[in-house]
C-alpha cells in the first residue's frame, strides 16, 4: 500500500545508505574506473564534469543526483573545481 496522498506517493528505498560526505575536487581530477560494493548516491553541488558508467555517460552539473547500484563500473572526470556530496555504505 503506498504512503502519501493524491499528490504524492512516498515509498522506501531498498538497501542501506549511510551519512552524506562532502567532497571537494580540483579541475582536472579524474577517477580510476571502480565499482562500489554497495548502493551509493552522488549529488553535484558545484562544478562540471562527466560520469562514465557501463551503460551511459552522465553530464555532471549542479543539481544532478546519481544512484549507483552495487557492482556497476564508474569513472568520473571533473572539468572545473567541483563540490559533490556522496552517501552510501562501502561495506
In the predicted model, what is the mean pLDDT of the chain?
83
The structure's pTM equals 0.75
Per-domain residue ranges of the chain: 15-88
Among residues 53, 52, 60, 59, the alpha carbon closest in space to that of 25 is found at: 60
CATH value of 15-88 in 2.170.190.11, 1.10.540.10, 1.20.1050.140, 2.60.120.10: 2.60.120.10
Q: What is the average per-residue pLDDT within 26-47? A: 91
What is the 3-state secondary structure of the chain? CCEEECCEEECCCCCCCCCEEEEEECCCCECCCEECCCCEEEEEEECCEEEEECCCEEEECCCCEEEECCCCEEEEEECCCEEEEEEECCC
Amino acid at each position: 500500500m503506498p504512503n502519501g496522498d493524491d499528490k504524492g506517493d512516498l515509498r522506501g528505498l531498498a538497501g542501506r545508505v549511510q551519512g552524506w560526505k562532502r567532497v571537494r575536487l580540483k579541475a582536472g581530477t579524474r577517477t580510476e574506473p571502480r565499482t562500489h560494493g554497495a548502493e551509493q548516491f552522488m549529488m553535484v553541488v558545484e562544478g562540471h564534469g562527466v560520469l562514465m558508467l557501463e551503460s551511459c555517460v552522465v553530464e555532471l552539473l549542479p543539481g544532478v543526483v546519481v544512484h549507483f547500484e552495487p557492482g556497476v563500473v564508474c569513472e568520473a572526470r571533473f572539468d572545473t573545481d567541483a563540490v559533490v556530496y556522496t552517501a552510501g555504505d562501502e561495506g
